[in-house]
């Protein structure tokens, strides 16, 4: 009998290329999860079109004018209505309220473009170049109340090359993100 697939909801704010990599990985019959909902706090986020084209329900609503906890409660309701068991943040550019984080404790992951704990926050590629680092990369971690914190599930390294600018480096890191995120989420769901 086929393995029961865990239901995943993905939160995005923009391009959604990591979301797309999770959706594409879930097409494989041996993938232990399925994507049942994509949520965006930006109603015209580019990633929504990809989700819709792949027949994945979307919940898109601007956070503007709502208190953080109020907005998060609406998102939480949409996730629960869809039967979501695990949440994957994929370029979701909103800080989460403590109550939301608490509800999804241990079942919510994020991908961040740095070798955490180094370079939390924004502009990670430029900051790594400016610091003269030899390597950079990406991390998938469990989401806790602190930004870009929480137990690290998986990392991939990318060398910083002579003459790299932030865009070139970001492009090479992104290739690794698209491999790392589906693999790390599958591991979490399998309980490994």
Question: Which residue among 5, 15, 94, 120 contacts ligand GRF (CB under 6 A)?
Answer: 15
Q: Is 141 a catalytic residue?
A: no
Smallest gap from residue 114 Cβ to ligand GRF (A): 9
**In the complex with ligand GRF, which residue's Cβ is closer, 83 or 145?**
145
Residues 16-55 that bind ligand GRF (CB under 6 A): 16-19
- Spell out, one character per residue from 156 to 175, where the chain touches ligand GRF: x when CB under 6 A holds, - when not: ------------------x-
* Long-range contacts (CB closer than 8 Å, 24 or more residues apart) made by 116-121: 116/141, 116/148, 116/149, 116/152, 116/155, 117/149, 120/147, 120/148, 120/149, 121/147, 121/148
**In the complex with ligand GRF, which residue's Cβ is closer, 14 or 73?**
14
Smallest gap from residue 184 Cβ to ligand GRF (A): 12
Smallest gap from residue 1 Cβ to ligand GRF (A): 34
Q: Is 150 in the site for ligand GRF (CB under 6 A)?
A: no
Q: Under a CB-based contact definition with an 8 Å cutoff, are residues 12 and 92 in contact?
A: yes
Q: Of all residues in this chain, which one has the CB nearest to ligand GRF in the complex? A: 91
- Spell out, one character per residue from 81 to 120, where the chain touches ligand GRF: x when CB under 6 A holds, - when not: ---------xx-------------------xxx-------
Q: In angstroms, rounded to a whole number, what is the distance separating the alpha carbons of residues 159 and 16?
A: 24
Question: Which residue among 31, 177, 185, 186 contacts ligand GRF (CB under 6 A)?
Answer: 177
Q: What length does the chain have?
A: 192
Interacting residue ranges for ligand GRF, rule: CB under 6 A: 12, 14-19, 90-91, 111-113, 138, 174, 177
Just list the catalytic residues. Answer: 112
């Amino acid at each position: 009998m086929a393995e029961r697939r865990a239901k995943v909801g993905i939160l995005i704010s923009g391009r959604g290329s990591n979301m797309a990599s999770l959706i594409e990985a879930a097409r494989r019959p041996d993938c232990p999860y399925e994507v049942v909902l994509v949520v965006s706090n930006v109603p015209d986020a580019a990633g929504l079109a990809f989700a819709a084209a792949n027949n994945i329900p979307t919940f898109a609503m601007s956070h503007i004018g709502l208190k953080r906890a109020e907005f998060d409660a609406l998102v939480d309701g949409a996730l629960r209505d869809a039967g979501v068991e695990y949440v994957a943040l994929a370029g979701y550019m909103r800080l989460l309220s403590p109550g939301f984080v608490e509800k999804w404790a241990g079942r919510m992951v994020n991908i961040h473009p740095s070798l955490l704990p180094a370079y939390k926050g924004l502009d990670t590629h430029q900051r790594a170049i400016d610091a003269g680092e030899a390597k950079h990369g990406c991390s998938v971690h469990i989401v806790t109340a602190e930004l870009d914190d929480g137990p690290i599930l998986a990392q991939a390294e990318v060398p910083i090359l002579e003459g790299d600018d932030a865009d070139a480096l970001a492009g090479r890191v992104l290739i690794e993100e698209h491999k790392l995120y589906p693999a790390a989420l599958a591991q979490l769901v399998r309980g490994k």
